[in-house]
Amino acid sequence: MPIADAELIAAVAAQRAAIAGTVAFVHAHPELAHEEHLCAAHLAGRLGEAGLRVERDVAGLGTAFRAALAGERAGRRVGIAALYDAVAAVREDGSVEAVHSCGHGLIAGAVVGAALALAPLREQLAGELVVVGCPADEIHAPGTIERGGGKWLTAAAGVWDDYDAVLYAHPEFIDTVWQASMWMRRDTFAVAGTRSLRDDVAQPPVEAIGTLLRAAADVPRTRLMIERLVLDGDVEEGTGLVLTGSLLFFADDEAGIERSALDVRTALSGAAWRAGRLVPGIRPDARVTAAVAGALAAAGRGFEPDPPPLPFATDFGSVSRRAPAALIGVGRPEGWAFHTDQGAAQFASTAGLDVAADMATVLALATVRLTEPAP
């Protein structure tokens, strides 16, 4: 017989210490994108000890892993995305510090808790649960800028191509399955010229800064972000001077990205441009959404069926175009101060642990619903 909701809820509650231990470990070992060696090893180790079949270095990524739990009944294959990288917090002196201020510790704890709760119930479990550890979720981290996000890279490598459903839970303001998010692309540019100490001689790299700022003023801040500008050059007359920069374009679709990028490129016509990888918006799936809604109800939580679009991009959009998927929000009425030191304290609090435990319950309940064979 399928696992009953009450039995599964009790099984997750029995894993609260394991959830807390995972959250504490991740928070105590903040690691930036593609550097999450300790956290990836910790999660893979906990899952391996519970009897899951663990594979490391998935998709050629040293901090990605896969851990599979096969049920003893025929059914479907469900994947769960686990995160564990820290935010690259920029401090007032310009230094970068790894800080867990986006809830990835709670996500890691929730995924571990759900898998550990299901492991001793495998005789009743249909199909297969696979946890995929995805590095590099934070887009501003140096490793993500250089190599790409973990969900985008695993999707491009075909890791998500043979799943019947994929789940990704994140602490949020409301209980929901997000139905839309922004598209995003990071474009880089360079303007080369020469340094001059004379007022009557043009310096194209310097003048390009003003041109860019004027062009950006005509685009809403929700659609264009000047991420980084670097002016570098020698100090003598006629020596080399270069302006480099990266811009984040956001839109409701790919065409919107192209329109905004064209406007800025036209204004900064003297620049050498390079378009980055396109991150698509999430693609919802009615069947997976319904299963998550049922899981939230069984866990005693609410469900917002028509949430506002996410005002940012997520590379889970790449995964959602490979398999039926749900980006799950597990809410807290007080909200979270994302990407701030206040937020880091919130995620490390007892309230944060409570949400991690609720996320584990929702993931476990949704997994059982989705692994059941088609009627």
pLDDT score, position 65: 98
Q: What Rg, from alpha-carbon coordinates, does the chain have?
A: 23
| Res 189: pLDDT | 98
Which phi and psi (to 5°) does residue 273 adopt? -105, 150
Task: Say which residues have a Cβ less than 8 Å from residue 233's Cβ, sequence separation at least 6.
Answer: 194, 195, 205, 239, 240, 241, 242
Bridge partners, 170 (sequence order): 329
As a whole number, mean pLDDT of residues 148-164 equals: 97
Closest CA to 19 of 46, 54, 40, 39: 46
Q: Which pLDDT score is estimated for 51? A: 98
CA angle 261, 263, 265 (to 5 degrees): 65
Report residue 1's pLDDT band, with 50, 70 and 90 as the boundaries.
Answer: confident
d(CA 201, CA 24): 58
Per-residue confidence at 375, pLDDT binned at 50, 70, 90?
confident
Strand 65-70 vs strand 53-56: parallel, antiparallel, or unpaired?
antiparallel
230 has a pLDDT exceeding 90: yes
Q: What percent of the chain has pLDDT over 90?
A: 98
Please check whether residue 264 is in contact with residue 214, taking contact to mean a CB–CB distance below 8 angstroms.
no
41: nearest Cα among 59, 26, 20, 51: 26
Which pLDDT does position 212 carry in this prediction?
A: 97
Domain boundary assignment for the chain: 5-181+281-371, 183-278
**What per-residue confidence (pLDDT) applies to 281?**
98
CATH code of domain 5-181+281-371: 3.40.630.10
**Tokens 């009790």, located at residue:** 10
**pLDDT tens per residue, range 268-305:** 999 999 999 999 999 999 999 999 999 999 999 999 99
**pLDDT for 2:** 87
Distance in angstroms (rounded) separating the CA atoms of residues 55 and 153: 17
**Residue among 220, 233, 229 nearest 188 (CA):** 229
pLDDT tens-digit readout, 24-83: 999 999 999 999 999 999 999 999 999 999 999 999 999 999 999 999 999 999 999 999
User: Tens digits of per-residue pLDDT, 106-146?
Assistant: 999 999 999 999 999 999 999 999 999 999 999 999 999 99
- Please give the pLDDT value at position 364: 98
Sheet holding 73-82, edge to edge: 53-56, 65-70, 126-133, 73-82, 165-172, 325-331, 176-177
Q: Using the 8-state DSSP alphabet, how is residue 327 labeled?
A: E
Give pTM, 2 decimals. Answer: 0.96
Mean pLDDT in the chain?
97
pLDDT band at residue 374, thresholds of 50, 70 and 90?
Answer: confident
| Closest alpha carbon to 310 in 169, 170, 182, 173 | 182
CATH topology match: 5-181+281-371 vs 183-278 = no
Structural fold of domain 183-278: Alpha-Beta Plaits (3.30.70)
